[in-house]
Protein backbone atom coordinates (compact mmCIF):
# COMPACT_ATOMS: atom_id res chain seq x y z
CA UNK A 1 0.00 0.00 0.00
CA UNK A 2 2.85 2.35 0.89
CA UNK A 3 4.58 1.67 -2.43
CA UNK A 4 1.38 2.41 -4.34
CA UNK A 5 0.97 5.79 -2.63
CA UNK A 6 4.66 6.57 -3.13
CA UNK A 7 4.48 5.90 -6.88
CA UNK A 8 1.26 7.93 -7.12
CA UNK A 9 2.94 10.77 -5.18
CA UNK A 10 5.87 10.83 -7.59
CA UNK A 11 3.57 10.88 -10.62
CA UNK A 12 1.42 13.66 -9.14
CA UNK A 13 4.51 15.73 -8.31
CA UNK A 14 5.86 15.40 -11.86
CA UNK A 15 2.45 16.29 -13.31
CA UNK A 16 2.18 19.29 -10.97
CA UNK A 17 5.58 20.54 -12.11
CA UNK A 18 4.52 20.18 -15.73
CA UNK A 19 1.20 22.01 -15.18
CA UNK A 20 2.87 24.90 -13.36
CA UNK A 21 5.51 25.30 -16.06
CA UNK A 22 2.91 25.26 -18.84
CA UNK A 23 0.87 28.09 -17.34
CA UNK A 24 1.20 31.47 -18.90
CA UNK A 25 1.91 34.19 -16.37
CA UNK A 26 0.15 37.52 -16.21
CA UNK A 27 1.62 39.84 -18.76
CA UNK A 28 3.80 42.44 -17.04
CA UNK A 29 2.99 41.38 -13.50
CA UNK A 30 6.37 39.94 -12.60
CA UNK A 31 6.26 39.95 -8.76
CA UNK A 32 3.98 42.93 -8.68
CA UNK A 33 6.16 44.83 -11.11
CA UNK A 34 9.14 44.37 -8.81
CA UNK A 35 7.25 45.62 -5.73
CA UNK A 36 7.18 49.12 -7.10
CA UNK A 37 3.87 49.69 -8.71
CA UNK A 38 0.66 48.31 -9.94
CA UNK A 39 -0.53 46.74 -6.72
CA UNK A 40 -3.60 45.76 -8.61
CA UNK A 41 -1.69 43.10 -10.53
CA UNK A 42 -0.15 41.69 -7.39
CA UNK A 43 -3.18 41.29 -5.10
CA UNK A 44 -6.18 42.24 -7.17
CA UNK A 45 -7.67 41.82 -10.64
CA UNK A 46 -7.13 38.11 -10.89
CA UNK A 47 -8.86 37.81 -14.20
CA UNK A 48 -10.49 34.74 -15.63
CA UNK A 49 -9.92 31.33 -14.05
CA UNK A 50 -8.69 28.99 -16.73
CA UNK A 51 -8.90 25.20 -16.72
CA UNK A 52 -5.13 25.17 -16.24
CA UNK A 53 -5.49 27.13 -12.98
CA UNK A 54 -8.15 24.70 -11.77
CA UNK A 55 -5.97 21.72 -12.70
CA UNK A 56 -3.07 23.27 -10.79
CA UNK A 57 -5.21 23.69 -7.68
CA UNK A 58 -6.45 20.10 -7.88
CA UNK A 59 -2.91 18.77 -8.34
CA UNK A 60 -1.65 20.86 -5.42
CA UNK A 61 -4.40 19.55 -3.12
CA UNK A 62 -3.72 15.98 -4.25
CA UNK A 63 0.02 16.45 -3.70
CA UNK A 64 -0.50 17.74 -0.14
CA UNK A 65 -3.00 14.98 0.67
CA UNK A 66 -0.61 12.29 -0.54
CA UNK A 67 2.17 13.87 1.50
CA UNK A 68 0.07 13.58 4.66
CA UNK A 69 -0.92 9.98 3.82
CA UNK A 70 2.69 8.97 3.20
CA UNK A 71 3.85 10.62 6.42
CA UNK A 72 1.16 8.78 8.37
CA UNK A 73 1.99 5.44 6.77
CA UNK A 74 5.72 5.83 7.29
CA UNK A 75 5.30 6.66 10.97
CA UNK A 76 3.28 3.46 11.45
CA UNK A 77 5.82 1.34 9.58
CA UNK A 78 8.07 -0.35 12.16
CA UNK A 79 11.32 -2.01 11.23
CA UNK A 80 11.47 -5.79 11.41
CA UNK A 81 14.68 -5.50 13.39
CA UNK A 82 12.93 -3.70 16.21
CA UNK A 83 10.48 -6.58 16.65
CA UNK A 84 13.13 -9.29 17.05
CA UNK A 85 13.69 -10.43 20.63
CA UNK A 86 17.09 -9.95 22.19
CA UNK A 87 19.39 -12.97 22.16
CA UNK A 88 19.48 -15.03 25.37
CA UNK A 89 21.88 -13.70 27.99
CA UNK A 90 22.00 -10.26 26.39
CA UNK A 91 21.93 -7.41 28.83
CA UNK A 92 21.06 -3.94 27.65
CA UNK A 93 23.43 -1.14 28.50
CA UNK A 94 26.65 0.45 27.43
CA UNK A 95 29.10 -1.24 29.77
CA UNK A 96 31.29 -3.90 28.14
CA UNK A 97 31.12 -7.46 29.36
CA UNK A 98 33.62 -8.32 32.11
CA UNK A 99 36.86 -9.79 30.79
CA UNK A 100 36.90 -7.79 27.54
CA UNK A 101 38.60 -4.57 26.66
CA UNK A 102 36.99 -1.78 24.65
CA UNK A 103 38.26 -3.25 21.34
CA UNK A 104 36.49 -6.51 22.02
CA UNK A 105 39.59 -8.56 22.79
CA UNK A 106 40.21 -10.63 25.88
CA UNK A 107 42.02 -9.12 28.84
CA UNK A 108 43.63 -10.76 31.82
CA UNK A 109 46.57 -13.15 31.99
CA UNK A 110 48.83 -13.32 28.98
CA UNK A 111 48.64 -16.36 26.78
CA UNK A 112 51.17 -19.13 27.34
CA UNK A 113 51.53 -19.77 23.61
CA UNK A 114 54.44 -18.38 21.63
CA UNK A 115 54.27 -16.97 18.13
CA UNK A 116 54.95 -20.40 16.63
CA UNK A 117 51.87 -21.85 18.23
CA UNK A 118 53.81 -23.99 20.69
CA UNK A 119 53.55 -23.87 24.45
CA UNK A 120 56.08 -21.68 26.19
CA UNK A 121 58.86 -23.77 27.72
CA UNK A 122 58.90 -24.12 31.47
CA UNK A 123 61.84 -22.52 33.21
CA UNK A 124 62.46 -25.49 35.49
Range of the domain at 18: 1-22+50-74
CB 57 within 8 A of CB 64: no
Helix (H, G, I), strand (E, B) or coil at 99: coil
* Sign of the dihedral through C-alpha 54, 60, 63, 68: negative
- Put simply, whether the predicted model's pTM sits higher than 0.75 gets the answer no
User: Does any domain span residue 91?
Assistant: no
User: Does any domain span residue 60?
Assistant: yes
pLDDT digits (tens, 9 = 90+) for 26-80: 665 555 555 655 555 556 556 777 888 899 999 999 999 999 999 998 888 565 5
Q: Provide the number of structural domains found in the chain.
A: 1
Give percent of the chain with pLDDT exceeding 70: 43
Amino acid sequence: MYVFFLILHILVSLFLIMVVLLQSGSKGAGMGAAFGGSGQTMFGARGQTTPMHKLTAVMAILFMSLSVILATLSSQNVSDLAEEPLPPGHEEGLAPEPGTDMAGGATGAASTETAGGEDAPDSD
